[in-house]
Every structure is written in structure tokens, then in C-alpha cells.
Amino acid sequence: MGKHELRRVTRERALMQIEQASRTEKDFWQLAGMYDKLDAKRERRERYWVTLSTDNFSEWELWNDETIIPRPLNHEWWRELLSGDFIDVIFDCPHELHELVSSPAIYDQLVGLDENRKEILYYWAVRQWSPQKIAAFRGQTDRNIRKVYGVTIRNVRKRLYERLRARYERSAPLTLEQREFCANYKAGIFNDTKGGGNDEAE
């Protein structure tokens, strides 16, 4: 067992012992703070190491020189496949949008969306397409796309907040992202997304 692995195992066992020995509210708050620090470190490592499909696929036009590597093999999909990384390629699809998230709460909100909303949300949030580009792709108006996206994202946020609200209000353990989301939602920061009345792009 290497030095880093030994350190990790020791830290995990120490946290487990602290968790089992916790009895008072102060003990649990201290334990929650320790887990928050671990989450922050993990997120920094993930931002550094994880290959983001939205960034790489959007840069495809920068890799279109066929002088040395043929065009198909130079595509980001092929570069990831040849390196043994299949996840982004398998789930790079509007209908598998829910598989691109790691949070069970968000997964539950996305998996129940109909295919139209999944497609618009995928191209808007994952591929970073403009409303005009999505509208041209779907044969609709960009106003219609904005409306459906606005309604969809508001509904997802509302259901997510309703799911987390009880734990947030009683200060139960939440991740940093969940706590920040609940605070922002309660403060009305997300109210800038205008969606209009009825959805037209069904």
C-alpha cells in the first residue's frame, strides 16, 4: 500500500470513528464541516482531471487539420475512445441527458422529462447551442425555444428545491452545491428566467 493510499484509508477510518462517536448537535456540525471540506477538495480534483465533453466537442473545429491524422480519428469522440474513455460518447445524446449528472436528486428531475424538453435542455445546457441554432435545428422559432426552456428549467428547479427544502430548513447535512442552490432559490435569484405562459413546442 502506497503512502497516499495509506493516508486516504487512515482518513476514512478516522472519519468513520468520529461519525460513530458523534452524539451531540455540535459533534454533527463538526462532522458536516469535515465532509464539506472533503467535498470541496474532491470537486477541485474533478475540475482538474475530468474531461468535459461540452468543452472538447465545441473545440472540434480547431482540430480539423488532416495533414497528419485523418479527420475521423482526430474527432474528440475517437480520441476519447482510443484512450479507453467511453462514458462521454455513450451518453452524448439528448435522450440520455439524465445519465450525464451524478446527483440522484437532479437525475430524478431529468429522467421524467419528455423527449422534447430533454432535447432542448441538452442542446442548450450541455452543447451550449444558442436558441437560434436550436430553433433552426428543430424547425421552430427561437422565441418558442426560449419559452419552453424557461418553463422547463423553472419546473426542474422548483421540484428540486421542494425535495431539498425540508433538509435545508432544519440544517440537515447537504452538499455545498445543494446548500447554495437552496439559498439562491429562496432568495429569488433564479427568477430571471422568463418562460411565458403555455408551451408551444410540444
Q: Flag whether 67 is in a domain.
A: no
**pLDDT confidence of 91, banded at 50, 70, 90?**
confident
* Mean predicted confidence (pLDDT) in 114-118: 91
Q: Flag whether 182 is in a domain.
A: yes
- Here the contacts of 52-56 (C-beta below 8 Å, separation 24 or greater) are 53/88, 53/92, 53/126, 54/126, 54/127, 54/128, 56/80, 56/88
Both 39 and 97 in one domain: the answer is no
Both 3 and 101 in one domain: the answer is no
pLDDT in tens, 163-191: 888 988 888 888 888 889 899 998 888 76
* Cell digits of residue 160: 428540486
Provide CB contacts within 8 A for 201, sequence distance 6+. Answer: 116, 120, 138, 140, 144, 145, 147, 148
DSSP state of 69: S
Q: Flag whether 109 is in a domain.
A: yes
Both 97 and 17 in one domain: the answer is no
Residue 146: its pLDDT value, please? 93
As a whole number of angstroms, the distance between CA 33 and CA 45 comes to 19
**pLDDT confidence of 43, banded at 50, 70, 90?**
low
In b/e form, how buried is each residue of 132-157, taking b as 16+ CB within 10 angstroms? eebbeebebeeebbbbbbbbbbeebb
Q: Flag whether 139 is in a domain.
A: yes
Domain count, the chain: 2
Instruction: Tell me the pTM.
Output: 0.53
Q: Flag whether 60 is in a domain.
A: no
* Cell digits of residue 162: 421542494
Least confident of 6-15, 109-118, 122-131: 6-15
Range of the domain at 14: 1-50
Q: Flag whether 134 is in a domain.
A: yes
70: left (phi over 0), alpha (psi -120 to 50) or beta: beta
Residue whose C-alpha is closest to residue 150's, from 186, 196, 113, 188: 196
Residue 135: its pLDDT value, please? 93
Both 39 and 100 in one domain: the answer is no
Both 139 and 201 in one domain: the answer is yes
CA 114 distance to own-chain centroid: 19
